[in-house]
Structure 1
Amino acid sequence: MRFLNLLRPLIASVAFMAAAAGASAADFKDGLDYNSVSGPRPDTGKKVEVLEFFMYHCPHCNVLDPLLTDWLKKNSDKVVFRRMHMGDDAQAHAFYTLEALNITHLHEKIFHAIHVDRNRLNTDQALLDFVVKNGVDKAKYQAAFNSFGVQTKLKRAQQVAAQYKLDSVPALVIDGRYTTSPAVAGHGLSSPADAHKAMFAVVDSLVAKSLQERAAKK
């Protein structure tokens, strides 16, 4: 019996991945593999918005980030991608400040500094020192940091997370109407790698469903 219990996670993993290979939205269950939410559908034209909620200090977000980047490269013709940093801490403030300055090349470096170099970057001063060391103009950063626009983005992110009923990261919002995550889509799977594959299978199906619905309304 103990041997059978040890095998069950492996059996569930193999069964799921075999099914996911050719899955459509109808093969996944609302409330189990993803959740429907009542948010407004973003105006993104022919493409579907995929919105990621993350936090820099989250180890699961760090692991997902390169996988998500690879997925986006393969689906750039279908999706419009955005990020929101959950919470109201120093890292969230830095994220929206850099976003306001249209600085994107430090995203991976911040993850690397925290999770590889073990530099916690959990204070405003530590983050200021880090971005300046990496070529950001100090005066421009501080001006954006203290701007009304960045403060508004911080508050808006919290409101949007609440609207989508998100209380953990990483999480993805598809077309403003569906949410999923490795934890949700990968329920019953013991391997993080399989949980990520499960999530992307669910996201693929929901993106396809949203595209079909948009095409049908034309």
Structure 2
Amino acid sequence: MMLKLFSALTVLSLAGLVHAATEGTDYKVLPKPIPQIQTDKVEVLEFFGYFCVHCHHLDPVLLKHSRSFAKDTYLRTEHVVWQPEMFGLARVAAAVNSSGVKYQANPTVFKAVYEQKINLADSATFKQWVAAQKGFDGKKLIAAYDSAANLNQAKKMQDLTETYRIESTPTVIVGGKYEVLFNGDYQNGMKTIDELITKVRTERGLKQTGSRIKSKGGALAKSANH
């Protein structure tokens, strides 16, 4: 029994050595930290664009992975505004964020903008398009889009883009301090995100906690005890 437990723990230790986030290769430190929305938690912040093919590919991976975040970690997404015509898409992103339908609506919005070339930056086109969708609650999305706060939320996205000089998408930042370098490998990037989350917890003296989804390693160690 002890031998089985030792073997299981050895496997886990070796697995942990397979990917160790390295500064300059897997991440870089921002010269100017970005304030988090929730200061008592660890923020994973993504700057993205619905027009961006790389964001289109990262989105399902990041959204799925964010479901495994522990309760002290959250995902925040901000649409970049580099040109005036992007402000309309920032309004869409703000509505998606505040409506509570992000996980259902985001893939469809990406497909409409990037693949189908539908001009969702135009308010009338966006509302007409939403009314025809069946995969999410369109009424909630329209209500969020028409809310008094929507324009202000989009303006904040524009200000963030300019203030922190976001020059490319997707840009993912952990703890307001560490920018993930994906190197074209989004799945490996999720491992980097997890390691940076742990790094931020350690630096802040926060309690280390597991993800919401039980890890395979934990299950392996548990089975070795039986």
TM-score by length of 1: 0.69
Q: Please provide the CA RMSD for this pair.
A: 3.1
Between Structure 1 and Structure 2, how many residues are aligned?
Answer: 183
The answer for the alignment partner of 1:74 in structure 2 is 68
State the identity %: 23
2:54 maps to a residue whose letter is H
The answer for the alignment partner of 1:38 in structure 2 is 33
Find the residue that maps to 2:67 and give its secondary structure. helix
Structure 2: which 5+ runs fail to align?
Answer: 1-14, 208-226
Once structures 1 and 2 are overlaid, which stretch shifts more, 84-93 or 143-152? 143-152
Counterpart CA distance in 2 for 1:57 and 1:34 is 25
The answer for the alignment partner of 1:205 in structure 2 is 195
The answer for the alignment partner of 1:161 in structure 2 is 161
Match status 1:97 vs 2:64: no
Residues 76-134 of structure 1 show CA distances to partners (whole Å, capped at 9, x for unaligned) of 44521111111143222222234344333211211233344x24234322211111122
Counterpart CA distance in 1 for 2:187 and 2:101 is 30
1:1-218 matches, within 5 Å, as 21-24=18-21, 27-29=22-24, 33-36=27-30, 37-45=32-40, 47-77=41-71, 79-87=73-81, 88-104=86-102, 105-116=104-115, 118-122=116-120, 123-134=122-133, 136-137=138-139, 141=142, 144-182=144-182, 186=183, 192=184, 195-215=185-205
Contact persistence 1:41–1:177 (CA under 8 A): no
Residues 119 and 42 from structure 1, CA distance in 2 versus in 1: closer, same or farther, beyond 3 angstroms?
closer
TM-score by length of 2: 0.67
Shift of 1:33: 3.0
1:203 maps to a residue whose letter is I
Counterpart CA distance in 2 for 1:59 and 1:48 is 27
Structure 1: which 5+ runs fail to align?
Answer: 1-17, 187-191
Contact persistence 1:35–1:180 (CA under 8 A): no
